[in-house]
Structure 1
Amino acid sequence: MKDIAKRFAENPLLSPTDIPASREGLEITCLLNPGVFQFQNKTWLAVRVAERPEQKDNIISFPILTETGEIQIIEISKDDPELIADDARVINYKGTDYLTTLSHLRLLCSDDGRQFYEPENYPSLVGEGILETFGIEDCRVALIEGTYYLTFTSVSDNGVGVGLRTTTDWKNFKKHGMILPAHNKDCAIFEEKINGLFYALHRPSSVDIGGNYIWIASSPDGIHWGNHHCIIRTRKGNWDSKRVGAGAAPIKTDQGWLEIYHGANENHQYCLGAFLMDLNDPSKVIARTEEPIMVPTTQYELSGFFGNVVFTNGHILEPDGDTLTIYYGASDEFVCGAQFSIKEILLLLKNN
């Protein structure tokens, strides 16, 4: 497998010990793949912060949100015969699935794109209401006509869907609720309207017929979505054989809309690839990389809370128009950075 990513020498940029927990009694277990945006001449990250109580011997404990926004701690004996706990991320108890951590989004900024800090007077984004009792995750940010659109995964025992909030100042947010119902995630809105319509990539899932495929949809207002088409499927025997999902907003090039996406195989190895969509009709896929463009390689990508993972949903296009800086989650524990040449990616796509 070919890897063309140029990783930052400073990686990992952020580790769980680098920022404080949101409240006493919780500890940060993971910092995961951030949404990325530019604001006030700085690079900003909307980092997914996953927390849980400090674990006790022979007890699994995890937090959930009540419908009124209070944190409730659930404790279960590891010896309980009704507990299934064979995944670090999810447990099943008495037939109900729970996440082992509770995630919220924390805003951090940087003057150089390498050293990040948490500024004062900017709120964290937390789950609210009955559809977000297990938290919010994996934010993607799109800037459209002066408004930032934040799509994220809303999680509860009702299922996993796509939530939307918008802002212009990152202090006041308009909440639009769940725009794509369960089971759906990985929603990336294009940063430019096409023929007067909003477009977005998303990933509905099915445990029966179908699979974990990338779809595209359009909208008159960025809130109400329809005209859905499946455009990228998994490939049997390949690096993206089990699931695929969109990264951040597609990048407009003279050859088409370029999307960096993640794919996973049956061994839960997550890599990055790319595909190209038609400029006027992005439901038409022009090309797709056969091999991944980034593979878990370094120690911080291979070993962590959930190892063998590189996963991105945020990037910055540098002023030269060719350098793409991505920020990514490594092994579901660290936030890292890397750069690609768009020309190099397009050449790989042309050869395919």
Structure 2
Amino acid sequence: MDDYLIFAPDDVDLRRSPLRRSLTAETYVLGAFNPGFTRLASGNLLMMVRVAEALREPVIGDQVHAIRWEEGRYLLDEHPLTAVNMSDPRQFDVGGSSYRMLALTSLSWLLPVELDSSGRAVIAVHYDRAIAPAASYQSYGVEDARITKVGDRWYMTTCSVSPERHSTTLYTSDDAREWKLEGIVLDHQNKDMIFFEGKVDGAFHALTRPLGELYFAYPEGSDYAGGPSINLARSPDALHWKPIDHPFLRARRGSTSAMKVGGGAQPILTDAGWLILYHGVETRAKVGIYRTFWALLDREEPWKILRLEDDAPLLEANPGLTAAIAHQLYLPTEVVFTTGIADGGDSYVVASGEADLACRITHIPKSRFA
């Protein structure tokens, strides 16, 4: 396999950030990572990079500040330091509620970065096509794009974050350059929604991963571990989704991903079936260890898993890749978070977020999945 970083925080020109329209406070790039990934009609590759833009000095006096979008403006909300927990540099807990409440130390927007056809060089960074909050349900930002081409159209799911809800939103495009916001397609805390790259039995299909604070136990002796898992849903129009009743990809007891699993790259159709790359998490410290695994699904009944490779990871975090920018790491993480795949001839070109900091490209021979 061939691994390298292709885009990192210092590659973002914050003078061209959408936040400059109204925010005067000094900011920096906390991370440029978790890129949606697709091949354009030109043959070049597109990364839709999540830029997490954070306040350089969030604490002023006895107040900590969070960035929030409202009706076209970026505002700073104040929270008393005495009422928050700031042990995690990505967010802080706001006290005084019956439920856990978070505010973010950064606001995320999406930056289109065009690569050459091999994924080895940046061709252009399209600041004029950046995707930023545009609705009240995105007031804390737009995160973690996943892009799939179905037929002649591109579909991009994102996480939209706000006090109203933590939802999955959909953008569509005829060229993967100009995007239209279609609105919310999955409601509160259903993350990692990724369309299959093609229809099954005439319908759109997608991976989903609903979250919650309550899970029910499997019986003793079960192969499975309770907690967040990957489910399937189908839709006639990409807007209205029904969960598929069959259970799907669950964390297994004794595996290195027993904490939770979630979608990664868009499922692509191969001669052997649908190939999916997904992430599994091992419990460790605050964040956990994120690795990439893979599975093959039946082409007609995708809830049937033909092959599951969750013992030896396909990808793991590689500290050597981030050694030159290690001073920018804000958490001690072992995270590779795969977010897209494209056909590269004899290999697949795979895009990932590395260490919640930068964008990683990996060329994986197709023979690896034989």
Please, what TM-score do these two structures have when normalized by structure 2? 0.84
Distance 1:243 1:71 in 2: 34
Separation in structure 1 between the aligned mates of residue 291 and residue 48 of structure 2, nearest angstrom: 21
Residue range with higher mean Cα deviation, 180-189 or 51-60: 51-60
1:205 positional shift: 1.1
Which deviates more, 155-164 or 327-336? 155-164
Instruction: Check whether the contact 2:111–2:127 (CA below 8 A) recurs between aligned residues.
Output: no
Residue 74 of structure 2 corresponds to 71
User: Which residue does the alignment assign to 1:254?
Assistant: 271
The 5-angstrom pairing of residues 198-213 of structure 1 reads 198-210=204-216, 211-213=227-229
* Offset, 1:193: 0.9
| CA distance 1:121–1:332, change in 2 (3 Å) | closer
Displacement of 1:41 in angstroms is 2.4
Match of 1:215 among 225, 228, 231: 231
Offset at 1:107?
0.5
Asked whether 1:233 is paired with 2:253, we answer no
Report the secondary structure of 1:264's partner residue: strand
| % identical aligned pairs | 27
Alpha-carbon shift at residue 158 of structure 1 (Å)? 2.8
Q: Name the SS for the 2:252 alignment partner.
A: coil
Residue of structure 1 equivalent to 2:109? 104
Tell me which residue corresponds to 1:61.
65
Q: What letter matches 2:90 in structure 1?
A: R
- CA displacement, residues 114-139 of structure 1 (integer Å, 9 cap, x when unaligned): 22154457411112222111111111
Q: What is the identity, as a one-letter code, of the residue corresponding to 1:62?
A: A
Equivalence for 1:314: 340
Q: Which amino acid aligns with 2:316?
A: V
Q: Report which stretch shifted further, 56-65 or 87-96.
A: 56-65
RMSD: 2.0
Q: 1:128 to 1:296 in 2, by over 3 A?
A: same
Amino acid aligned to 1:85: M
Q: How does 1:146-185 map to 2 (within 5 A)?
A: 146-185=152-191
Corresponding residue for 2:307?
287
Question: Contact between 2:119 and 2:349, CA under 8 Å: does it hold in 1?
Answer: no
User: In 2, Cα distance between the equivalents of 1:247 and 1:156?
Assistant: 23
Q: Equivalent residue for 1:3?
A: none
Residue 169 of structure 1 deviates from its aligned partner by 3.1
> In the alignment, is the contact (CA less than 8 A) between 2:8 and 2:33 conserved in 1?
no
Distance in 2, matches of 1:183 and 1:224, equals 17
Please tell me whether the aligned partners of residues 55 and 105 of structure 2 are also in contact (alpha carbons under 8 angstroms). Answer: no
1:334 to 328, 342, 358: 358
After TM superposition, the structure 1 stretch with the greater mean CA deviation from structure 2, 172-181 or 190-199, is: 172-181
TM-score w.r.t. length of structure 1: 0.89
- Asked whether the 8 Å contact 1:142–1:150 carries over to 2, the reply is yes
Q: Distance in 1 between matches of 2:58 and 2:357?
A: 21
How far the C-alpha of 1:175 sits from its partner, in A, is 2.0
Q: How far has the Cα of 1:301 moved from its partner?
A: 5.7
Cα distance change on mapping 1:182 and 1:42 into 2, 3 Å: same
Name the counterpart of 1:123. Answer: 129
Which segment drifts farther, 98-107 or 247-256?
247-256
> For the residues of structure 1 that align with 2:162 and 2:254, how far apart are their CA atoms?
33
Q: CA deviation at 1:81?
A: 2.4
1:194 paired residue among 200, 203, 212? 200
Give the residue type in structure 1 aligned to 2:257: D
1:130-166 deviation line (CA, Å, top 9, x unaligned): 2111111111111112111011111112332211010
Give the letter aligned to residue 334 of structure 1.
Answer: A
Which position in structure 1 is the counterpart of 2:221?
Answer: none
CA deviation after TM superposition for structure 1 residue 296, in Å: 1.5
Q: Which moved more, 1:276-285 or 1:126-135?
A: 126-135
CA separation of 1:121 and 1:169: change in aligned 2, threshold 3 A: farther
Distance 1:237 1:251 in 2: 28
Contact 2:8 2:357 in 1 (8 A): yes
1:325 aligns to 2:349 (yes or no)? yes
Is 1:305 the equivalent of 2:310?
Answer: no
Deviations 1:281-304 (A, max 9, x none): 001112211221111232346952
Question: Which residue matches 2:222?
Answer: none
TM-superposed deviation, 1:203: 0.5
Structure 1 residue runs of 5 or longer lacking an equivalent are: 1-5, 347-352
Bigger shift: residues 273-282 or 249-258: 249-258
**Given that residues 30 and 305 in structure 1 are in contact (C-alpha distance below 8 angstroms), is that contact kept between their aligned partners in structure 2?**
no
* Deviation per residue, 1:199-222 (Å, 9 max, x gap): 100111121025211000111111
Three-state SS of the structure 2 residue aligned to 1:286 is: strand
| Alpha-carbon distance change, 53 to 118 in structure 1, aligned in 2, over 3 angstroms | farther
Q: Are the aligned partners of 2:276 and 2:294 in contact in 1 as well (CA < 8 Å)?
A: yes
Q: Is the 8 A contact 2:2 2:364 kept in 1?
A: no
Q: Closer, same or farther in 2 for the Cα pair 1:75/1:12, shift >3 Å?
A: farther
Q: Secondary structure at the match of 1:81?
A: helix
Give the C-alpha shift of residue 327 in structure 1. Answer: 1.3
Pick closer, same or farther for the CA change 1:301–1:245 going to 2, 3 Å. Answer: farther
